[in-house]
Amino acid sequence: MVFMKVNVSPDTIPPRGHEAKRVSIMDAAGEVFCRESFAGANIDMIAAEAGVSRQTIYNHHGDKEKLFVAIVRDLTDRCNAGIFATISTFPDQPKDLEADLIGFAVRMNRNCICNRDGKFLRKLIQTEGERYPELFAEWREQGPGRTWPAIAARFARLAHAGFLDIDDPDVAARQFLALANAELQTTFMLGGTPDDDEVLQSATHGVRTFLRAFGKRQPADASKQSAVTSA
Amino acid sequence: MVFMKVNVSPDTIPPRGHEAKRVSIMDAAGEVFCRESFAGANIDMIAAEAGVSRQTIYNHHGDKEKLFVAIVRDLTDRCNAGIFATISTFPDQPKDLEADLIGFAVRMNRNCICNRDGKFLRKLIQTEGERYPELFAEWREQGPGRTWPAIAARFARLAHAGFLDIDDPDVAARQFLALANAELQTTFMLGGTPDDDEVLQSATHGVRTFLRAFGKRQPADASKQSAVTSA
DNA sequence: ATAAATTTAGACACTCTTGTCCAATTCGTC
DNA sequence: GACGAATTGGACAAGAGTGTCTAAATTTAT
Nearest to B212 by CA among A169, A172, A101, A152: A172
**B50 CA to D7 C1' distance (Å):** 13
The DSSP symbol for B223 reads G
Cα–Cα distance between B154 and B161 in angstroms, integer? 11
Residues 6+ away with beta carbon under 8 Å from A189:
B122, B125, B126, B129
What SS3 class is residue A219? coil
- pLDDT at residue B218, rounded to an integer: 56
The identity of residue B11, as a single letter, is D
**Residue B166 buriedness (CB in 10 A; 0-12 / 13-18 / 19+):** buried
The answer to whether B181 and B206 have CB atoms below 8 angstroms apart is yes
pLDDT tops 60 at residue A53: yes
Distance of alpha carbon B168 from alpha carbon B165, whole angstroms: 10
Across A101-121, average pLDDT: 96
Asked whether residue B227 carries a pLDDT value surpassing 90, the answer given is no
Residue range A191-225, pLDDT digits in tens: 899 999 999 999 999 999 999 999 986 544 444 44
- Tell me how many degrees the CA angle B147-A200-B124 measures, rounded to the nearest 5: 40
Label residue B43 by pLDDT band (50, 70, 90).
Answer: very high
Q: What is the pLDDT of residue B45?
A: 97
pLDDT at A138 over 80: yes
Interface test with A, best of B123, B189, B201 (most A CBs within 10 A): B189
What percent of chain B is predicted at pLDDT more than 70? 87
Q: Which of B33, B35, B36, B37 to mutate to test the interface with A (most CBs of A within 10 A)?
A: B37
Give the C-alpha separation, B46 to B19, whole Å.
Answer: 17
Does B213 reach chain A within 8 Å, measured CB to CB? yes
Q: Give the up-direction half-sphere exposure of residue B117: CA atoms within 13 A in the CB hemisphere.
A: 17
Q: How far is B14 from chain A (nearest CA, A)?
A: 34
The per-residue pLDDT for range B116-158, each reduced to its tens digit, is 999 999 999 999 999 999 999 999 999 999 999 999 999 999 9
For residue B192, give the nearest of B122, B139, B102, B136 by alpha carbon.
Answer: B122
For residue A65, list chain B residues with Cβ-Cβ distance below 8 A. none
Q: Is B164 helix (H, G, I), strand (E, B) or coil?
A: strand
The angle formed by the CA atoms of residues A145, A151 and A152, to the nearest 5 degrees, is 90
The whole-angstrom separation of Cα B53 and Cα B43 is 10
- CB-based burial label for A49 (10 Å; 0-12, 13-18, 19+): middle
Residues linked to residue B215 through DSSP beta bridges, in sequence order: B164
Average pLDDT rounded to a whole number, residues A29-39: 96
Report the Cα A47 to chain-centroid distance in Å: 27
What does the alpha-carbon distance between residue B130 and residue B76 come to, in Å, rounded to a whole number?
17
Å: A189 CA to C7 C1' = 40
Kindly give, in sequence order, each residue whose CB lies less than 8 Å from that of residue B28, ignoring residues fewer than 6 positions away.
B46, B47, B49, B50, B52
Contact B155, B222 (CB under 8 A): no
Residues A35, A37, A38: CA angle, nearest 5 degrees = 135
pLDDT band at A11; cut points 50, 70, 90: very low
Nearest to A177 by CA among B168, B185, B101: B185
Q: At residue B38, does pLDDT exceed 60?
A: yes
Q: How confident is the model at residue A15 (pLDDT cuts 50, 70, 90)?
A: low
Helix pair angle (B54-61, B43-50), 10° resolution: 100
Measured between alpha carbons, how far is B53 from A82 in angstroms, rounded to an integer? 50
Residue B182 forms contact with A (CB below 8 Å): yes
| B146 close contact with A: CB closer than 8 A | no
- Mean pLDDT of the region B102-120: 96
The Cα A191–Cα B131 span in angstroms is: 11
Instruction: Write down the pLDDT at residue B82.
Output: 97
The residue among B92, B115, B135 whose CA lies nearest residue B225 is B92
Strand positions, DSSP E, chain A:
none
* CB-closest option in A40, A122, A205 to B171: A205
Q: Kindly report the pTM of this predicted structure.
A: 0.87
Residue B50 has a CB neighbour count (10 Å cut-off) of 22
B76/B122 Cα distance (integer angstroms): 10
Q: Which positions ≥6 away from A159 have C-beta within 8 Å?
A: A165, A166, A169, A172, A214
Q: Which amino acid is at B99?
A: A
Alpha helices, H only, chain B: 18-40, 43-50, 54-61, 64-87, 97-108, 116-128, 133-142, 144-160, 169-181, 185-189, 196-214
Q: Considering only CA atoms, name the residue closest to the C1' of nucleotide D19.
A: A63
Between the alpha carbon of residue A20 and those of residues A7, A27, A34, A155, B113, the distances in Å are 19, 11, 21, 42, 44
pLDDT at A14 over 90: no
- Helix pair A196-214, B196-214: axis angle to 10 deg: 80
Task: Answer yes or no: do B37 and A136 touch at CB < 8 A.
Answer: no
